[in-house]
Amino acid sequence: MCLHSSAAEGGSVLCGIAGFTQRSCVLSSNHISSAVRSLIHRGPDQQGVYESQDVSLGAVRLKIIDLVDGDQPMISEDGDVVLVFNGEIYNYKELRTELIARGCRFLTSSDTEVVLHAFREWDTGCFRRFRGMFALGIWENSQKRLVLARDRVGIKPLFFYRAGHDILFGSEIKAIFEHPAAHRKINIDALNCFLSLNYVPGPHTMVDGIEKLRPGHVLEWVDGRTQVTSYWRPVDGSSRKWNLEDAKQELESLLRQSVREHLIADVPLGIWASGGLDSSTIIHYAAESGAHIKTFSITFKGRSFDETPYIHEVSRRYGTEHSEFDLNTGVDLSADRAVRLLLG
């Protein structure tokens, strides 16, 4: 998976957002500041808060695009719209050109400001135009409206909690816990799912009352009323008749375009190399673009599942600058040893 800088979540850019509406419960500034501090590991480069009598918003930023400007929360020139944003919009340059043609004036070169202007221009319709990964919160002062949105397939996390007439949200559950109305109670049904499936299906979480915003969905909060709607569905391509050669060419074109867009950054780039098909394919197209590639791996030398030889083969083939960390600690990882540890 592609990485930017040295921090990643699921192979993607890390930043963090949090926010609380204040219809029923007026907070001190300590609560949103505490929520921001709980996310500091996601954004060591810049932190900020926005507070009004209606809402508190916070953001932490790992700078990838526009290292000088683009601080968050970002506020429109007239003060009406406030944005906190986690992610990256790969087609932001094209959208920026279109928005300038429609009369928008930009003060930064960041994709965050493109998101802000796009919302002002197209409202929630802007999310269908974004090609990228994102979780965001937008406060519109004139309408007293909070909008939360998540990318099409849910690369970026976004959790929310309905506290009476208010909405609390964050990139991680721990940020929501900084609000005094958030209760810490285990969701037994979610726990059962985790023990049987090894994951918790959305929109549920392990905490009762805290939900994941579904991928491709928008949550709108106005004066205590909440509505969640879908803005995107997978396209049914079954009506198109493919032959093998056309399918191969289409796949290669999409992979090449996707990797090229992921390489857009104002900081050094790296790729997480596992020795498998997906990361090796990404390295191939990144090398094809002429980018200087740094690769990183965690290895398990001496274990049956170790893929170090494949990692090294790919690194040599494409001439990457490779670094790895061996996680072989000498601990007995056999199945019966694991069971004994679990059972005490």
Residues 31-88: tens digit of each pLDDT: 999 999 999 999 889 999 999 999 999 999 988 877 778 899 999 999 999 999 999 9
Phi and psi at 247, nearest 5°, equal -65, -40
Does 2 score more than 90 pLDDT? no
Q: Which amino acid is present at 170?
A: G
Whether 193 is catalytic is no
**In this predicted structure, what is the pLDDT of residue 180?**
92
Tell me the CA end-to-end span of the chain in Å, nearest whole number.
Answer: 37
Mean pLDDT of the chain: 88
Higher local confidence (pLDDT), 294 or 118 = 118
Least confident of 18-27, 102-111, 161-170, 323-332: 323-332
What is the third-level CATH fold of 12-230? Answer: Glutamine Phosphoribosylpyrophosphate, subunit 1, domain 1 (3.60.20)
Does 336 score more than 60 pLDDT? no
pTM score of the predicted model: 0.84
Measured at the alpha carbon of residue 321, what is the angle toward residues 315 and 322, in degrees to the nearest 5? 65
Measured distance CA(10)–CA(283) in Å, rounded: 16
**In this predicted structure, what is the pLDDT of residue 7?**
34
Q: Which amino acid is present at 183?
A: H
**In this predicted structure, what is the pLDDT of residue 334?**
52
205 closest CA partner among 225, 184, 221: 184
Does 171 score more than 70 pLDDT? yes
Q: Which residues contact 172 (CB under 8 A, 6 or more apart)?
A: 16, 38, 39, 42, 157, 159
Does 198 score more than 50 pLDDT? yes
For residues 234-257, give the mean pLDDT: 87
Higher local confidence (pLDDT), 152 or 307 = 152
Quote the tokens at residue 217: 């969905």
Active-site residue (options: 2, 15, 104, 193): 15
pLDDT digits (tens, 9 = 90+) for 213-227: 999 999 999 999 999
Asked whether the beta carbons of 121 and 71 are under 8 A apart, the reply is: no
User: Under CATH, domain 244-326 is a member of which superfamily?
Assistant: HUPs (3.40.50.620)
**In this predicted structure, what is the pLDDT of residue 329?**
59
Does 10 score more than 50 pLDDT? no
β-bridge mates for residue 269, sequence order = 4
Pairing status of strand 55-61 against strand 16-21? antiparallel
Q: According to CATH, where is 3.60.20.10 located in the chain?
A: 12-230
Measured distance CA(249)–CA(230) in Å, rounded: 31
Q: Which residues contact 177 (CB under 8 A, 6 or more apart)?
A: 38, 184
**In this predicted structure, what is the pLDDT of residue 321?**
92
In the chain, what percentage of residues exceed pLDDT 70? 90
Quote the tokens at residue 84: 């906190």
Asked whether the beta carbons of 286 and 293 are under 8 A apart, the reply is: yes
Asked whether the beta carbons of 90 and 264 are under 8 A apart, the reply is: yes
Q: Is the peptide bond preceding residue 203 cis, with omega within 30 degrees of 0? A: yes
Q: According to CATH, where is 3.40.50.620 located in the chain?
A: 244-326
**In this predicted structure, what is the pLDDT of residue 332?**
52
Quote the tokens at residue 179: 């609000």
DSSP 3-state assignment of 231?
A: coil
CA dihedral (283, 285, 287, 292) in degrees, to 10, reads -80
Phi and psi at 10, nearest 5°, equal 60, 30
Higher local confidence (pLDDT), 270 or 27 = 270
